[in-house]
Amino acid sequence: ADCRIAVLVGSLRKESLNRRLSRALTGLAPEGFGFHELRIDDLPLYNQDEDEHPAASVDRFRKDVSRADALLIVTPEYNRSIPGVLKNALDQGSRPMGHNAWAGKPAGVIGIALGSCGTALAQQHLRNILAVLNVPTMAQPEAFIGYYDGLFTDEGGIGERSREFLQSWMDKYIAWVKLFCS
C-alpha cells in the first residue's frame, strides 16, 4: 500500500462495536491504503521507570506506530472520556521524552456507542490529547454513531441506512490523510 494506516480501537472486547465499525470503515477505503489494527491489549501500564528498558510489547508498539503514515482511532466512551486502555497506548507511544512516535501523523477519530450522543465527550477529550501529541486531527466532519439493528450487514459492511453517511466520512478522512502522505 502507498499509505499505511494504523488503526487503534479503544475497546478490548471480542464483540466490540467499535472494532466492527473500524473493519467496516476499512472496507470503504479506496485502493492504495493499507489498514492494520495495532495491538494494545498486551501493553503494560505506562511506568516512566521503564522508559529506557521497555517491555517487548511496548518496543513493538512504538515501532508499529513509527512505521504508520496515518492513524484511524475508533473508540467507545467510558464514563464520559476515552477508555484507559486507549490512553495507556497513547502514553506508551509518546515516550521516552523526545521520541513521541505519534508526532505529525494525521488522524481521524470516530466512535460508536449504544446511545445516540455517545462518544461525543470521549472524542472531544481525545482531540485534546492528540493536540499535545502533535497529531493533526481532521476537524470535520465529526461522526458520533449510535448503534441500531441493521447498522452492520451480515458480511461486516455498513447497512444501507448509514452507508452514504459513513462513506462520505471515510472519503473526507482519506482526502485528509492524502494531504500528508504521498
In the complex, the residues that contact ligand FNR under the rule CB under 6 A are 11, 13, 16-18, 76-80, 113-115, 118-119
Query: How near is the Cβ of 142 to ligand FNR at its closest, in Å?
Result: 15
**C-alpha cell of residue 93:** 507511544
Question: Looking at beta carbons only, is 79 or 140 nearer to ligand FNR?
Answer: 79
Query: How near is the Cβ of 129 to ligand FNR at its closest, in Å?
Result: 17
Question: Looking at beta carbons only, is 101 or 112 nearer to ligand FNR?
Answer: 112
Question: Looking at beta carbons only, is 12 or 175 nearer to ligand FNR?
Answer: 12
Position with the least CB separation from ligand FNR: 118
Amino acid at 59: D
| d(C-alpha 29, C-alpha 82), whole Å | 25
What's the count of helices (H) and strands (E) in the chain, helices before strands?
A: 5, 5
Query: How near is the Cβ of 112 to ligand FNR at its closest, in Å?
Result: 7
Query: How near is the Cβ of 125 to ligand FNR at its closest, in Å?
Result: 11
Ramachandran category for residue 155: left, alpha or beta (phi over 0 → left; psi -120 to 50 → alpha): alpha
Residue at grid coordinates 503514515 = 69
Question: Looking at beta carbons only, is 121 or 181 nearer to ligand FNR?
Answer: 121
Question: Looking at beta carbons only, is 10 or 54 nearer to ligand FNR?
Answer: 10
Residue 46: CB partners within 8 Å, gap ≥ 6? 88, 91, 92, 95
| d(C-alpha 9, C-alpha 129), whole Å | 16
Residue 165: closest CA among 110, 113, 95: 110
Query: How near is the Cβ of 155 to ligand FNR at its closest, in Å?
Result: 19
Within its chain, how far is the Cα of 2 from the centroid? 19
